[in-house]
Amino acid sequence: MSWELRASDLPDLARGATLLGTGGGGDPYIGKMLVERVLGDGVITILDPDELTDDLFVIPTAQMGAPTVMIEKIPAGTEPTLALRTLEEHLGRRADATMPIECGGINSMIPLVVAAETGLPVVDADGMGRAFPELSMETFAVYGVHGSPLALAGERGEKVVIDTGDDDRQMEWLARGVTIRLGGVGHIAEYAMSGADVRRTAVPRTLSMALALGRAIREAREAKRSPFAAIADTLASTLYPHVRELFTGKVTDVERRTTEGFARGRARISAMDGDAGDFEIRFQNENLIAVHQGRVVAIVPDLICVVDHETAEPITTEGLRYGQRVRVLGISTPALMRTPEALAAFGPCAFGLDEPFVPVEEHRG
Amino acid sequence: MSWELRASDLPDLARGATLLGTGGGGDPYIGKMLVERVLGDGVITILDPDELTDDLFVIPTAQMGAPTVMIEKIPAGTEPTLALRTLEEHLGRRADATMPIECGGINSMIPLVVAAETGLPVVDADGMGRAFPELSMETFAVYGVHGSPLALAGERGEKVVIDTGDDDRQMEWLARGVTIRLGGVGHIAEYAMSGADVRRTAVPRTLSMALALGRAIREAREAKRSPFAAIADTLASTLYPHVRELFTGKVTDVERRTTEGFARGRARISAMDGDAGDFEIRFQNENLIAVHQGRVVAIVPDLICVVDHETAEPITTEGLRYGQRVRVLGISTPALMRTPEALAAFGPCAFGLDEPFVPVEEHRG
């Protein structure tokens, strides 16, 4: 069912979206602020994917860049709508709605900024069901909707349109090159598609799920209940039913470098009692693999979420700091993200990892 | 007066254009071959700029990239026309003619490839009056016609449109980034303008001058006359009247590296009798400055042309080899390339050179 989103929902949505961002997808504080600035006391209509007419014309919008740069370089706020308008002009057709391409503190919010500015509704779905570092890593692409043409807008009004036909990896490669030259952050509109395409290719209801997660965590804290139980309860009835606590400990080392437009690195977490052996997470913008005592315990595309060990507040890869006490959760992803064609696009081998994909619920604890 | 160009003109045109390319502008053999492949026994109409109607719509076409890569990566030949068509589609208007953006072995030829493929005429003018390494270094831009929107085509059919408004340096920066990611070479259409704009901003008749130069050099060789006297005679009645022999010697060192999409380096030339001291040229795709015994003897935007010491065959920066016996010519550029606003765009300071511009005819020999 379609519903209305208000400014008062944004803190919960940001929290839940950041959890689903699995370390990436951008900073929740910045994302929330960008929407608040334009929404005021207005409302945004969120469309349920099952209720879209077949020929509704949807243009997703997002920010691209390295999270390490995204937190330094706050957008003016008008760039995502400029990207949308540039793609509309290029295609000669106005959008009926926008949509996220991924879940995350920024990228669940950017379509809301566009909606607040333009009055367009937002579709409750996305193309990653989490966050991934590259524009080609979309269920949209896996199931036949291509990203080109893509429109990219820069903070000084630069407009770039990239068309690589069916080659979404080449689109990512060229758009990343432009984004690097824009200083590390760009705003994009891409994967224009019909309502029928959304139903066929998108991960449904990730905005409402993010909002429900963020709200459940907050309400549990307020009621002095376990936010971890609240997360598990909330996810039980979704397409992400399995939650596993992978490790609890203290961040003892973070290695992070921004190369080729991405934030890459690893974090080491040590048990507080010193007994349970070292735990390591490797990331490229998002967390990709979690290894405990030499054994893989969760791997992309399943979610590896680092959260505060008490409050369950999600921590992004660029927010990781020495000494933080954290829990690491593994969350199962929907079936449409685990097919062989989906794994070819954003499974371990797409990141150069040799380890095979094993669902998080099947790893031996 | 307008005239017709045939395949039999191409060797002379390539030679003359390469001389005017002042070390850059691409390899004449490849340029000639690209035109020959599509022209056959057809003709190309070359329009005199003075005869253009005010509202004629001109879209210049070119190749961009590092010469060191351009000689390794031969284009399919269809990319320049794809760039033109992409810009036409973006602007919603068909071109009446195309035009070079610079002189050079490749870039005097690319518009001829487009002309042979599409039947469009080519305007006898360009925007550099020589070759320069960056897309913003155009008399077009200096006198108020901006490069945006620019269309860029890649060898796998990639199409990119870049619009940076009035900021031609940002256009260059972004287009260079895309070109690097296309493997070092891209094909472009940019600086769309009217016939009135051409007359106001372009360096006129550089195609016919290149053809006349190439022909004069060949005919002098055939008649056993001095090709150097032929060059001077040909230029005497043009906007480039001063020719000065700067040095004669043997190439004794070439340092060349491809960085950030450009070929940068220096060449040292030593007198064959060992008496006249060392002579050095520094280049970024094109020759920028010539220094003899510590004194500047020619500097950008004047032309510094390295040619074979006997045949006067021009040698590009990527063609420089140890042991070549060469003469170095300094040639004066037209007045519209030496105004303060022109020097700000492509004079010494635009290349980070501290030396002031002094016209080649005013240097003490």
Cross-chain residue pair A156–B167, CB shorter than 8 Å: yes
Q: Is A181 at the interface with chain B, CB within 8 A?
A: yes
* Interface contact flag, A163 B164, Cβ < 8 Å: no
**Phi and psi angles of residue B19, each rounded to the nearest 5 degrees, phi first:** -60, -50
β-sheet with A122-123: strand ranges across: A3-6, A43-47, A122-123
The domain B3-204 is placed in CATH, from the list 3.30.300.20, 3.40.50.300, 3.90.650.10, 3.40.1610.10, at 3.40.1610.10
pLDDT of residue B70: 66
**pLDDT at position A235:** 98
Contact present, B299 and B282 (Cβ < 8 Å)? no
Q: What are phi and psi of B147, to 5 degrees?
A: -75, -25
Q: Tell me which chain B residue has its CA closest to the CA of residue A260.
A: B181
Q: If pLDDT is split at 50, 70 and 90, which confidence band does B365 have?
A: low
A164 touches chain B (CB under 8 A): yes
A158, A168, A170, A188, best to mutate vs chain B, most B CBs in 10 Å: A158
Is A181's CB within 8 Å of B177's CB? yes
Give the relative orientation of helices B206-222 and B227-236 as an angle to the nearest 10 degrees. Answer: 150
pLDDT tens figures, A180-204: 999 889 999 999 999 999 999 999 9
pLDDT digits (tens, 9 = 90+) for A137-150: 999 999 999 999 99
**Do B158 and A164 count as a contact with CB atoms less than 8 A apart?**
yes
- Fold of the domain built from segment(s) A224-357: CV3147-like (2.40.390)
Count of CB atoms within 10 A of residue A321's CB?
Answer: 11
Chain B CA closest to residue A168: B158
Q: Is A160 on the interface with B (CB under 8 A)?
A: yes
pLDDT at B335 over 70: yes
pLDDT of residue A28: 86
Q: How confident is the model at residue A272 (pLDDT cuts 50, 70, 90)?
A: confident
Question: How far off is chain B from A169, nearest CA to CA, in Å?
Answer: 12
- The percent of residues above 90 in pLDDT, for chain B, comes to 87
User: What is the per-residue pLDDT for A25?
Assistant: 87
Chain B contact present for A268, CB below 8 A: no
Rounded CA Rg of chain B: 19
Contact B174 A164 (CB under 8 A): no
Average pLDDT of the segment spanning B332-360: 97
Please name the residues in contact with A294: beta carbons below 8 A apart, sequence gap of 6 or more: none
Instruction: Mutation target for A interface from B86, B88, B156, B161: give the one with most A CBs within 10 A.
Output: B161
Q: Which of A169-178, B67-76, B145-154, B188-197 has the lowest mean pLDDT?
A: B67-76
How far the first Cα of chain B sits from its last, in Å, is 38
Nearest to residue B87, comparing CAs of B62, B53, B109?
A: B62
Interface of B with A in 60-119 (CB under 8 A): 90
Question: Can you tell me the mean pLDDT for B186-201?
Answer: 98
The Cα of B157 is separated from the nearest Cα of chain A by a number of Å equal to 7
Per-domain boundaries in chain A: 3-204, 224-357
- Please report which confidence band the pLDDT of residue A68 belongs to, taking 50, 70 and 90 as the band edges: low
Nearest to A180 among B158, B167, B177 (CB): B177
Which range, of A63-72, A188-197, A229-238, averages the lowest pLDDT? A63-72
A167 part of contact set with chain B, CB < 8 Å: yes
Do A224-357 and A3-204 have the same topology in CATH? no
pLDDT band at A36 (very low <50, low <70, confident <90, very high): very high
- Dihedrals phi, psi of B161, to nearest 5 degrees: -115, 130
Give the pLDDT score at A77. 78
Mutate to test the interface with B, among A82, A155, A181, A190 (most CBs of B within 10 A): A181
Those residues with Cβ within 8 angstroms of residue A222's Cβ, 6 or more apart along the chain or in another chain: none
| Class (C level, CATH) for B228-362 | mainly beta
DSSP annotation string for B157-219: S-EEEEE-TT-HHHHHHHHHHHHHHTTSEEEEE---EEHHHHHHHSEETHHHHHHHHHHHHHH
- Residue B259's pLDDT is what? 82
Beta bridge partners of A329: A245, A305
In degrees rounded to 5, what are phi and psi of residue A64?
-125, 150
Between chain A and chain B, how many beta carbons pairs sit less than 8 Å apart? Answer: 63
Q: Looking at the complex, does the CB of residue B36 fall below 8 Å from at least one CB of chain A?
A: no
Q: What is the pLDDT of residue B26?
A: 85
Tell me how close the Cα of A109 comes to any Cα of chain B, in angstroms. Answer: 26
Which residues have C-beta within 8 Å of that of residue A76, sequence separation ≥ 6?
Answer: A155
Please list every residue in chain A whose beta carbon sits closer than 8 Å to the beta carbon of residue B181: 173-174, 176-177
Task: Encode pLDDT of B252-291 as tens digits.
Answer: 999 988 887 788 999 999 998 766 778 999 999 899 999 9
Contacts of A172 in chain B (CB under 8 A): none
Closest Cα in chain A to B151:
A161
Segment A76-116, tens digit of pLDDT? 778 999 999 999 999 999 999 999 999 999 999 999 999 99
In this model, does residue A365 exceed pLDDT 60? Answer: no
